[in-house]
A and B are shown apart, each in its own frame.
Chain A
């Protein structure tokens, strides 16, 4: 398959809307990114602590089983029977000694190897598989699994992929270790189906410009404002990024000057129950907002004391699921767990500071279907080379995302920045 993208500029400061609507490009993304050399986020190790534990997930639009084998090793394999293509594991999660396809009872080990099939030798000398049939030759596709501090990643092309540590870089491994600094406790899941291309979500996560404008709750109640100390960090390839801010580093006066439109409201509106805004600092760096995004499908998010991972699951060219795993720490007491759960009001599908993303993405998808060759303007924070920034009035990491996307897709413009 080949593709051509006509980039108006080589620094990705113009992004054609067609990239969110083109079926051919979507198919190519599945091949070159999700089944390519990128490392995709699978799940957390804490979700499969015991031998035999498994979870089903999606990498791109590929169904995948993540499973812990008897020897404790972790495997990820395509959730599709080698025989006639049925889903092997239909449950979301569980514990099993083996996995049996319902259709003809072909049987797979917890490591994803085909280990048996009924009537292989036939019945009374009749029927059966050919003598030279080798089960190994048709085992489901496997991903190589990598583990960074308990966050599991997989790639379908280990020969072409960089080692996981290098792929995540110092930036990625450092920030994962910050979030997963001690044993965690899974608090549960939430799911959201957004009627927009998955890359609109990837862009949203790299656009710190929108955070305090779209999400007015942030500003109104002072959870996060562009006037706070913070910035944007990226890895050296600009494929991963992190929007972050430090608690209590601005004043009400700073905020009122910056947000003239909403200034009146800053004094008028107060939450009656302020516990929602309570931040118990639990990280040495003092950040109350951290949203590191890892190419192509992962996000870790901290808003005050709510902690979660999010996995982006493309569902065709015009939709994606955001699958959120909320967690706390194993040593949290009951009061802290309650505080984290109440803080979930801030994030997720009904989150005071996240619900708007779903709507923003859907209205972009809706309005760009008919956009022809038109392109988005991505110049906030500057043009040209992509660099880290110590402020957040920027959308530069969006250009970083597209540069790596174009590289993997083989559609870079001439003289492309990287």
Chain B
């Protein structure tokens, strides 16, 4: 499909900020990329291929995202690590009204405090986003993880 270069550029920058906000541990900034009525879901390819609706994580509005981050900051305990996302190019799927739908492949590496890195998760995002006044905003992110066997645990968002 034909996508205006400025749309592609804006949404590419949006996804770059998405990844970097998580990797820089700026999760509050990451939340701000979403719309109030957003949907964020982590599912596995194993379930998707069986048409099963199970989720690993599901926030069906921005307040639930805020709760996730606050619980991560103050309540939950998890493996101490750094995240590093590597994203592929955006592949646009459709344009419906103001909403652009596109897929992006991701690899997510985790590095523990003593410096050892491992591949933590690989998969794709199915994203719905809008562009207004040159700024991108996330309506929906579905993380479809090929890596269904979660190493250790999943605390930080993908």
A: residues with CB less than 8 A from B are 92-93, 186-195, 214, 216-217, 220-221, 265, 269, 271-273, 276, 321, 326, 337, 341-342, 344-345, 348-350, 352, 355-360, 362
How close is B139's CB to chain A, nearest CB, in angstroms? 18
Asked if B55 contacts A341 (CB within 8 A), the reply is yes
Q: Which residues of A contact B56 (CB under 8 A)?
A: 190, 344, 348-350
> Looking across the interface, which residue of chain A has its beta carbon closest to that of B51?
A188
B: residues with CB less than 8 A from A are 42, 44, 46-47, 50, 52-61, 63-64, 66-67, 70-71, 74-79, 148-155
How close is A418's CB to chain B, nearest CB, in angstroms? 35
CA distance A187 to B52 in the complex (A): 6
How close is A212's CB to chain B, nearest CB, in angstroms? 12
Q: Which residues of A contact B63 (CB under 8 A)?
A: 272-273
24 A-B interface contacts by CB (under 8 A)? A92-B46, A93-B50, A188-B55, A189-B44, A189-B52, A190-B54, A190-B150, A191-B149, A192-B152, A192-B153, A195-B152, A217-B75, A269-B75, A272-B64, A273-B63, A276-B64, A326-B54, A344-B56, A349-B153, A350-B153, A352-B75, A356-B153, A358-B152, A358-B153
**6 tightest CB-CB pairs across the interface, nearest first?**
A188-B54, A188-B52, A358-B153, A350-B154, A272-B63, A349-B150
Asked if A189 contacts B149 (CB within 8 A), the reply is no
CA distance A92 to B64 in the complex (A): 33
Q: A189-B47, A342-B60, A349-B56 are in contact. Are A355 and B74 (CB under 8 A)?
A: no
Q: Which residues of B contact A273 (CB under 8 A)?
A: 61, 63-64, 67
How close is A309's CB to chain B, nearest CB, in angstroms? 13
Q: Which residues of A contact B42 (CB under 8 A)?
A: 350
CA distance A217 to B77 in the complex (A): 10
Asked if B46 contacts A189 (CB within 8 A), the reply is yes
CA distance A301 to B54 in the complex (A): 16
Q: Which residues of A contact B47 (CB under 8 A)?
A: 188-189
> Looking across the interface, which residue of chain A has its beta carbon closest to that of B48?
A188
> Looking across the interface, which residue of chain A has its beta carbon closest to that of B64?
A273
Q: Which residues of A contact B44 (CB under 8 A)?
A: 189-191
Asked if A216 contacts B150 (CB within 8 A), the reply is no
Cross-interface CB contact of A355 among B46, B53, B149, B154, cutoff 8 Å: B154
Q: Which residues of B contact A271 (CB under 8 A)?
A: 67
Q: Which residues of B contact A214 (CB under 8 A)?
A: 77
Given A188-B53, A191-B149, A321-B149, 17 other A-B residues pairs in contact with their CB atoms under 8 A: A187-B54, A189-B47, A190-B148, A191-B44, A192-B153, A193-B149, A193-B152, A195-B152, A216-B75, A217-B75, A272-B67, A273-B67, A344-B55, A344-B56, A345-B58, A350-B155, A359-B78
Specify which of A189, A190, A350, A362 lies most central, judged by the most chain B CB atoms within 10 Å of its CB: A350
Q: Which residues of A contact B67 (CB under 8 A)?
A: 271-273, 276
Asked if A362 contacts B54 (CB within 8 A), the reply is no
Q: Which residues of B contact A265 (CB under 8 A)?
A: 74-75
Cross-interface CB contact of A189 among B54, B61, B66, B155, cutoff 8 Å: B54
> Looking across the interface, which residue of chain B has its beta carbon closest to that of A350?
B154
> Looking across the interface, which residue of chain B has its beta carbon closest to that of A325?
B54
